Amino acid sequence: MKSIKIQLNENDIPRRWYNLAADLPTPMLPPLGPDGNPVSPDMLAPVFPMNLIEQEVSTDRWIDIPEEILNILYRWRPTPLRRAVYLEKHLKTPARIYYKDESVSPPGSHKPNTAVAQAWYNKQFGIKKLTTETGAGQWGSALAFACNLIGLECKVFMVRISFDQKPFRKMMMGTWGATCVASPSTETNAGRKILAEIPDTPGSLGMAISEAIEEAVTDPSGKTRYSLGSVLNHVLLHQTIIGLEAKKQLKIAGEKLPDIVIGCAGGGSNFAGLSFPFVADKINGADIKIIPVEPTACPTMTRAPFAYDFGDTACTTPLLAMHTLGHAFVPPPIHAGGLRYHGMAPLVCQAIVEGLLEPRAYHQLRSYEAAITWARTEGFIPAPETSQALAAVIEEAEKAKEEGKEKVILVNYSGHGLMDLLGYDAYLSGQLTDYELPEEELQKYTRDLENLPKAEMRKTGKW
């Protein structure tokens, strides 16, 4: 039988991260400060350590991965590339479907790839404590895991609705020694202000980010920094180890380049991690369809304008040029908690503007249907976020069947769903519904963007 688990050993692990900023045909627009001028690295210093700020602004194509970081990643990396032969057979598709299995990390997703790197760089810089936000808890548990191994204190502000509905990730954070509080909380000015205005708010990532940043910058010792699990350039950079491994593994499997690359996108990090090394191939002439997938309930890439906006509800972050539903957007409580952010990574957005990516949105029920098909063929139970990507995989595999083409499809299996079974229960008992963001809501939340600097859509027109 042909190998369906393509493994690399420790010696094959990539030793450099890939930075798409070096190769984008049109450079990204800079982050802006409150005065409308580009922010300088110094202005970010109260929030992030300087070694990570250097990565954030770097346009070097390759950045070395420190040996000590690799030594931690070896616990689960390189991750397997698996061929979904059981799904292929079920769909009777001529497509060959490969999935990069990031669910094998201790916290169960791709998130520790950057959590470990960020904790390591903060430690090197003399930082003692990290604060962060988390939606459904994947990122919070990944940072808790990393801080424990590296010897940093960790405090996580978890979006209220998930804190109440998904207690298991909170318990994981506690197991790894972190503190987790529901956001909005009474522990910060930002949280108290939101609670005074909307006492029964389900919370949002934007609110939790405001709280986590406030807690970091107000520490009088100066030894606390903030850590973000997605969106920023350095986070996406750390995730490119996924795509670099996958490239080597596809070669071992006897494939050249994939025809189609797919990932779900909340803030953009797992999608970018898998796809950016292939975006580089596309820039250099390869014919690859690259699809970031999002829910119709939070249609950032498919319906929102490309504009300058804040990353958080309290407007404390620099302005980022991105597709955005507006910083005040409160997403509906869909189960893919990690896909409910109002913005999207500026690097991903610039690649969309350039025409290199083809974003797509699916309804919640469609993605659960895909997840059930996956679980009943491949066997693994995917995270609700990952299921969005699997809906696109099934659609593309069916299209390949109609066209009679042997397409190679590569997807990021960003996490397992074993902590998210309540969503499956709701789906199986018929309680889940679809939700499409109404146009009036989109207009309402994006109205504030008119008062912010405009983001020019620059592109070469080549794609």
- Residues within the interface to ligand PLP (CB under 6 A): 109, 135-136, 138-139, 230, 264-271, 338-339, 383, 385-386, 414-415
> Phi and psi at residue 162, in whole multiples of 5°?
-75, -40
Of 306 and 413, which CB lies nearer to ligand PLP in the complex structure? 413
Give the pair of three-digit tokens for residue 247: 């490239």
Q: Pairing mode, if any, of strands 408-413 and 96-101?
A: parallel
Minimal distance, residue 272 CB to ligand PLP, in Å: 8
Minimum CB separation of residue 56 from ligand PLP in Å reads: 16
DSSP string, 152-191: -EEEEEEEHHHHHH-HHHHHHHHHTT-EEEEES-SSSHHH
Least Å distance between CB 385 and ligand PLP?
Answer: 3
If the CB atoms of residues 400 and 437 are measured against ligand PLP, the closer one turns out to be 437
Q: How far apart are CB 417 and ligand PLP at their closest, in Å? A: 8
- What does the block give as tokens for 137? 């808890």
Cα(376)–Cα(90) distance, integer angstroms: 10
Q: Which is nearer to ligand PLP, 93 or 275 (CB)?
A: 275
Cα torsion 83, 86, 91, 93: sign: positive
Measured from the CB atom, the residue of 214 and 385 that comes closer to ligand PLP is: 385
Rounded CA-CA distance 102/246 in Å is 11
Q: Which is nearer to ligand PLP, 265 or 400 (CB)?
A: 265
The pair of three-digit structure tokens given for residue 172, joined into one six-digit string: 């994981």
Distance CA 415, CA 248 (A): 21
SS3 224: strand
Nearer to ligand PLP (CB atom), residue 145 or residue 400 = 145
| Least distance CB 336 / ligand PLP (angstroms) | 8
Nearest to ligand PLP by Cβ — which residue?
338
Question: Least distance from C-beta 277 to ligand PLP, angstroms?
Answer: 16
93 vs 270, which CB is nearer to ligand PLP?
270
CB of 248 to ligand PLP, least distance (A): 22
Rounded least distance, CB 380 to ligand PLP, Å: 12
Identity of the residue, 81 or 195, whose beta carbon is nearer to ligand PLP in the bound complex: 81
Amino acid at 436: E
**SS3 annotation, 225-265:** EECCCCCCHHHHHHHCHHHHHHHHHHHHCCCCCCCEEEEEC
DSSP β-ladder status, 81-83 and 96-101 = antiparallel
> Quick check: helix, strand or coil at residue 21?
helix
Distance CA 449, CA 210 (A): 18
Query: What is the Cα–Cα distance from 162 to 111, expressed in whole angstroms?
Result: 18
Q: Which is nearer to ligand PLP, 326 or 382 (CB)?
A: 382
| Burial class, 266, CB count within 10 angstroms (exposed 0-12 / middle 13-18 / buried 19+) | buried
Radius of gyration, alpha carbons of the chain: 20
Cα distance between residue 114 and residue 193, in whole Å: 31
Work out how close the CB of 273 gets to ligand PLP at its nearest, in angstroms, rounded to a whole number. Answer: 7
